[in-house]
Amino acid sequence: MRGYIVPVLDEYGVDLTLTGHSHNYERTFLISGYYGDSKQLHSSMILDGGFGREDADGPYAKPAGGLGANRGSVHVVCGCSGQGGLFPIDRHPAMRMAMTGFGSLVLDIDGDRLDLKFIRETGEVDDYFTIVKSANPGNARPEIQISRSGEKARLSWPTARVPFALEESGATANWDPVKETPQTSGRWHYLDRDFGVGPRFYRLRSN
């Protein structure tokens, strides 16, 4: 699953995955790029090693839109709503929390804010965290991808809550705004440009 599925989830900016089967509760840090076994987890893959709690070390923060790709996900296992026990479990290196016993998840989603609580059968809250998708925390910068589309060059870049303007430059050092309006498909903007205009350079500038 880590080797085949998680790269796709990272690429499309998935914020949260929910899984079961194991009769316990576990949830990861905010992580990205972790596709191997436990020995292959590197500290650089943990984007936020905190608890993700607004009243403690702060919620997990991600950019909204396509800019949120590869900016981290939280993976939660909760298979203890109907069957659980007090058997011991080892905490996997990627896990922020690992618990046994009975409990269920409650999710509250309001716009770009997600709150998750792990609630025991007694009503006690034993874990909780928040993911907030704001405009551009950490000043993430979108990258332009260039590919061939028939007889033209296709420029593609991710959508973002913060508007970015596409600019181009030729032989001079002057940057001019590209006047054509890009198309949008899913979480990507794209624009096709002719090859015949000579060497060109492109950049994105935040408005």
Write a three-state SS string for 123-168. Answer: CCEEEEEEEEEECCHHHCCCCCEEEEECCEEEEEEECCCCCEEEEE
pLDDT confidence of residue 14: 96
What are residue 205's DSSP bridge partners? Answer: 165
Element (H, E) at 203: strand 201-206
| Beta carbons of 66 and 162 less than 8 angstroms apart | no
Q: Is the dihedral of CA 20, 21, 22, 24 positive or negative?
A: positive
pLDDT confidence of residue 88: 80
Distance, in Å, from the CA atom of 200 to the CA atom of 58, rounded to the nearest integer, reads 43
pLDDT confidence of residue 21: 84
Task: Tell me the mean pLDDT per 10 residues along the chain, length 207.
Answer: 94 94 94 95 97 96 93 96 81 94 96 96 96 87 90 92 90 87 94 82 89
pLDDT confidence of residue 69: 93
pLDDT confidence of residue 151: 86
pLDDT confidence of residue 97: 96
- How many residues in total does the chain contain? 207
Torsion of CA 196, 200, 204, 207, to 10 degrees: -80
The span from the first CA to the last CA of the chain, in angstroms, equals 40
C-beta atoms surrounding 66 within 10 Å: 19
Distance, in Å, from the CA atom of 146 to the CA atom of 194, rounded to the nearest integer, reads 12
17-35 in b/e form (b: 16+ CB < 10 A) is: beeeeebbbbbbbbbbbbe
Q: What is the pTM of this model?
A: 0.86
